[in-house]
Structure 1
Amino acid sequence: MQQRIQEFVIAALAEMNYDTDEVTGDTDLGPAGLDLESLALAELSVQVEDEYGIKFEVEEMESTALMTLDQFTADVARRVAANSAAATAGTAA
C-alpha cells in the first residue's frame, strides 16, 4: 500500500511541475529536499485526501513539511488503514 501511495505522490508532484527524477523515500518534502511551499503542501494534501478518503488538519502542514517522502507515505498508509478499520467496525456494529 505504501508503495502505491508513494507512486501517487510522486506523480502528483510531477504534475505540479516539481522535478521528481531524483526523489527517493529519503527526500525531504520541505526546504532540505523538494522545498514544497505551504501552498504546494496544501495542494498535495488535497490530492491525497481525494484519492484515499482521508483528512489532514491545517495544523499538520508544518509537521508535514519536515517529513521525508517515506514518512509522509507511511502516515498516509496508517490513516487509510485506520479509516478502513473504522469503516469495518462501523458496519459490524
Structure 2
Amino acid sequence: MTDEIRAFIIHSLSEMNYDVTHIDQDTVLGPAGADLESLALAELSVRIEDRFGVRFEDEEAEKLVAMTVAEFAQAVAERLESAPAAGR
C-alpha cells in the first residue's frame, strides 16, 4: 500500500507543476528537498485526504514538512490501517 501512496504523492507533485525528476522516497517534502511551501503542502494533504480518506490536522503541517516522501506515505498507510479500528 505504501508504494501506491508514494506513487500518488509523486504524481500529485507533478500535477502541481513540481519537477519530480529527482524526487524519490528519501526526498524531504520541505525546503531541504522538494521545497513545498505551506500552500503546496496543504494542497498535497487535501489530495491525499480525498484519495485515501484520511485526515491531517492543520497543526500537523510543521511535522509533515520535515518528512520524506516515504515517511509521509507511511503516515498515510498507518492512518488507513487504524481507520477500521476507529469504527470506519
- Tell me whether the two structures share a fold, i.e. TM-score over 0.5: yes
Unaligned runs of at least 5 residues, structure 1 = 89-93
Structure 1 CA distance for aligned equivalents of residues 35 and 26 of structure 2: 14
Q: Percent identity?
A: 51
Structure 2 CA distance for aligned equivalents of residues 34 and 63 of structure 1: 15
Structure 1 CA distance for aligned equivalents of residues 85 and 3 of structure 2: 20
State the Cα distance separating 1:84 from its structure 2 match. 2.9
Match status 1:37 vs 2:18: no
State the Cα distance separating 1:86 from its structure 2 match. 2.6
Aligned to 1:53: 53
Aligned to 2:77: 77
Count residues in correspondence.
88
State the Cα distance separating 1:28 from its structure 2 match. 0.4
State the Cα distance separating 1:22 from its structure 2 match. 1.3
Unaligned runs of at least 5 residues, structure 2 = none
Aligned to 2:22: 22
Aligned to 2:11: 11
Larger radius of gyration: 1
Map Cα deviations across residues 23-57 of structure 1 (whole Å, 9 max, x no partner). Answer: 11110000000000000000000000000111100
